[in-house]
Amino acid sequence: MLSLAARRLFLLVPNLVLLTFVVFAGMISWLGSPSTIMLGQDASPAAVRELDARYGFDQPVAVQYVRWIAAAAQGDLGRSVSTQQPVASMLSPAIPVTLELGLACILLALLVSLLANSIATGARIVQPLISAISVVGVTIPNFMLGAVLIYLFSVRLRWLPTTGWSPWSAGIGTHLMHMIMPVLTLSSFYACSFGLVYRAEYRATARLLFVRAARAKGLSETRVSYRHVLPNAVLPVITYAGLSLGQLVGGAVVTETIFSMPGIGRLLVSSVGSYDYPVILALTLLILVGVALANLGADLLYARVNPQVRV
């Protein structure tokens, strides 16, 4: 298990270096010097040259990259070219917002998918219905679902605050009211896709020999399903949840944008809009590392729960 972790981490580093270099070089060579962006409508050729020299934008791309990655390795992510703030200070308030959204979504999705599908195991008519809902759930884009929710609950019914985000300090009630629609928007996909995976696994497990043996021993159908089938079907769902974290980040980008939540997704979109490359790079790095570690965690968890598996 340790060797698995070591191997993964070993592969992760060159991968990150490569990806960030591509993004870095691309940004610099395609988009030109960030100085004009920093100066905005006050940019003059002289002022641009001055800033270029001060920040080293006149150096070759490779030199700039090495500087950046060396600093990043020591925890210094540089300063935003757009706000002049240290990148770290822009990321730190955004991370908890996204983590909260993501965790709430995963938990809600696991809960809903397992509950709905466990209940449905017995009732034959309910199954196709749940399957149909699940397929719709995995195919509706987040932005569309978000727009529908906003239209229904804010514009028409006025039950929920339109958008925005409210910190915990402004009151738990207010905070939760603002979280309802974003969490629903983001988790629908996962609730449904987890459900589909779970159903497939459940059916596959139910056909296995040991389950049939349990039945043959005269155990009740409920007991068989909860004691034997369920635990084995849940495992793949956990792996799948780990694997889908990358996609979850993508969903969070759209969700945070549509609901204007100050998380890392929205920070990414706004920094993409202003070509704020230190922030884009830092976010890319953060997201890649975060997703890779979460995957690793899911794999290790899986290996631990099910010792037969040696990935």
Partner 1 sequence: MRVARWAGLGLVLTIACASAFAPLITGRDPNASGDDLLTGPSAEHWFGTDDLGRDVLTRTLHGGRISLTLGLGAAALGCAIGVPVGIAAGFARGWASTLLTQLIDLFIALPALVLALVVTVVVGPTLGNLMLVLGLVQWPGMARLVRGQSLVLREMAFVEAAWATGNTPAAVVRRHIWPNLARIVAAQFAISVSAAIFTSASLSFLGLGLPPPTPDWGGMVQGGFEYLSLNPLLCFGPGAAVTLTIFAFYVLGRTVD
Partner 2 sequence: MNTELRRRTLLAATAHAAFGVATLASWIAPHPARAAEPVRGGVLNVGFDDDAKTLNPVLSVQLSERQVLYLVFNTLVGINTDFSIKPELARAWHTEADGSRYVFELQEGVRFHDGTPFDAAAVKWNIEHRMDPATGSPQRTQLQSVIRSVEVLTPNSVAFNLINPYPALLSDLAERPGFMISPTAAQRSGAEFGRNPVGTGPFVFESWMQGASIVLKRNPSYWQAGRPWLDGVVFRDIPNHVIGLQRLTVGEVDIVTSISPDEARQVEGNDAITVEQAKVGRWFTLQYQVDKPPFDNPKLRQAIAHAIDRNRINQVTMRGRAVIADGMTPAGLWWSSPDEVVYDYNPAKARALLAEGGVAPGTTLAIAASSDLVLRRIDQLVSEQLAAVGITLQLQPVSQSESYARVVQRAINFTPISWTQRSDPNGLQYILLHSKGFANTTGYSNPEMDRMLDQARQSLDQNERKRLYAAIKSQMMRDLPYIPLYFAAEYAAVSKKIGGFVWPPDQIPRYRDAWKAAG
Positions in the binding site for partner 2 (CB under 8 A): 32-33, 36-37, 39-44, 46-48, 50-51, 54, 79-80, 82-85, 89-90, 93-94, 150, 154-155, 158, 161-165, 167, 257-262, 266-267, 269-270, 272-275
Closest among 310, 300, 305, 297 to 106, alpha carbons compared: 297
Q: Kindly give, in sequence order, each residue whose CB lies less than 8 Å from that of residue 262, ignoring residues fewer than 6 positions away.
A: 93, 94, 97, 165, 256
Q: Within 10 A of 157 (CB to CB), how many other CB atoms are there?
A: 9
**Residue 20: CA count within 13 A, CB half-sphere:** 30
Q: Closer to partner 1 by CB, 206 or 288: give it.
A: 288
- Is residue 243 involved in binding partner 1 (CB under 8 A)? yes
User: Is there a contact between 283 and 88 (Cβ–Cβ < 8 Å)?
Assistant: no
Q: Kindly give, in sequence order, each residue whose CB lies less than 8 Å from that of residue 206, ignoring residues fewer than 6 positions away.
A: 225, 229
Closest among 119, 103, 132 to 241, alpha carbons compared: 103
- Is residue 99 involved in binding partner 1 (CB under 8 A)? no
Selected from 6, 53, 66, 144, the binder of partner 1 by CB under 8 A is 144
Q: Closer to partner 1 by CB, 26 or 122: give it.
A: 26
- Is residue 273 involved in binding partner 1 (CB under 8 A)? yes
- Is residue 23 involved in binding partner 1 (CB under 8 A)? yes
Selected from 21, 153, 240, 275, the binder of partner 1 by CB under 8 A is 275
- Is residue 268 involved in binding partner 1 (CB under 8 A)? yes
User: Is there a contact between 291 and 249 (Cβ–Cβ < 8 Å)?
Assistant: yes
Phi, psi for 86 (deg, rounded to 5): -60, 135
User: Which of partner 2, partner 1, none binds 90 (CB below 5-8 Å, type-dependent)?
Assistant: partner 2
Q: Closer to partner 2 by CB, 132 or 155: give it.
A: 155
Helix (H, G, I), strand (E, B) or coil at 86: strand
Q: Closer to partner 1 by CB, 7 or 223: give it.
A: 7
Residues of this chain that interact with partner 1 (CB under 8 A) are 7, 11-12, 15, 23, 26-27, 30-31, 135-136, 138-144, 147-148, 150-151, 155, 243, 245-247, 249-251, 253-254, 257, 268-269, 272-273, 275, 280, 284, 287-288, 291-292, 295
